[in-house]
Amino acid sequence: MRHAQGRARRAGAALAAVLTWAGLLAGATGCTSGGTGGPAGIFGKPPAAKDVIRVDPDDGSKEVRPGRKLRVRVADGRLESVKAVKSQDAQDTPVTGHLSRDGRTWQPDDDRLALAARYTVDAVAVDGEGRRSARHTTFTTYVPDERFIGYVTPENRSVVGTGMIVSLAFSREIAHRAAVERAVHVTARPPVEIRPHWFGKDRLDFRPRHYWRPGTQVTVELRLRDVEGAPGVYGLQYKTFSFTIGRSQVSLVDAAAHTMQVRRDGELLATVPITAGAPKHTTYNGKMVVMEMLEVTRMNSRTVGFGGEYDIPDVPHAMRLTDSGTFLHGNYWSTPDPFGRANVSHGCVGLKDVKGGGSQTPAGWFFDRSLVGDVVEVVNSNDKEVSPGNGLGGWNMGWKAWKAGSAVE
């Protein structure tokens, strides 16, 4: 009898177990987070966040190279939120981005990763069965060994003449000129068409078709940071410069007549006697722009390709017109007085002055009324026209030829 009772108890237990499994398989949910995923969803662990939310580059990646894209994806379900932050130069910047229409992919609005930066990504997603997952990842990007910068003319916040040309001199030769050109933006208010022109591999100039209108506000945006200018060489700057166009002053030097007519806003201010380059050292013809103004400077003939003809330690009221050494400057040493009568210089334009520089002399008068960016045009000299790339001589190039110097088609 006891054996019969034991067998009955064992049979009852077995039947209860079968019924329990049947009930679970029929849809009991237990402590899951609302899903109905069957035995694996009930008794197994929920999927790991890294399996639900895929972030590329991978968590912990280092030296991520240029060209990689930041992407956040889910295989099914949707992304609820993605927050990305770029840490660079001790500054945190949110990375703006957007979701795809199906909500499964997020990508930045700017698809280019910054170099020498640390990225942090926080994403929340809901999978196809309603389970929520969150993931936090970080990665760092490549730190280049070589960088380049652009030196901008004119100076930030300066007031310049109507002939100013925006000129960028790069610290390294640029092989990828189109990429660099696209990263530089020059705009004006009121608007005017402004076009770029390359001079060689390390200089990029910008100008409008005609001289700037007085009062124009010009802005130069350098978006060079992380732009590859040459293989393995990346830009460093992300800066904005601005300057203002002042009044119009254009001076016409007639080398044959030994005079300079100074016009302000089209009106003749004065006709000043000058001396230009002597027959063996003539002055360039053409439009030149005042690049810098020096109260006093030293001029040594050996620095501009001559012999030991001169070395003057205190040239007053000197205004540079070309890279090759053409100046318009005060002259106190030439005797007898050549101004208005003869050309005796080594290629410069000289105005009468006194030692130390006098404010009431022709040179002092002109210096006090000049700005960097003013135009000085030379005519009737027995020499060639100044090269457009010599100083800010781009005004000597026609508009069609100027535009043809862009690297962007």
Active site residues: 329, 348
Determine whether 230 is exposed, middle or buried from the number of CB atoms within 10 Å of its CB (0-12, 13-18, 19+): middle
Q: Which helix (H) or strand (E) holds 293?
A: strand 292-300
- CA-based angle 25:30:35, to the nearest 5? 80
Placement of tokens 């939120």 in the chain: 81
Parallel/antiparallel/unpaired status of strands 217-223 and 184-189: antiparallel
Long-range contacts of residues 261-264, Cβ cutoff 8 Å, at least 24 apart = 262/366, 262/369, 264/369
DSSP state of 275: B
Determine whether 196 is exposed, middle or buried from the number of CB atoms within 10 Å of its CB (0-12, 13-18, 19+): buried
- Give DSSP secondary structure letters for 5-16: HHHHHHHHHHHH
Placement of tokens 């170099």 in the chain: 115
Parallel/antiparallel/unpaired status of strands 349-352 and 105-108: unpaired
Closest CA to 330 of 338, 341, 319: 319
Closest CA to 144 of 236, 59, 237: 236
Give the integer Cα–Cα distance in Å for 306 and 317: 22
**Which two tokens mark 160?**
């310049």
Give the integer Cα–Cα distance in Å for 186 and 158: 16
CB 263 within 8 A of CB 274: no
Give the integer Cα–Cα distance in Å for 60 and 366: 64
DSSP state of 113: P
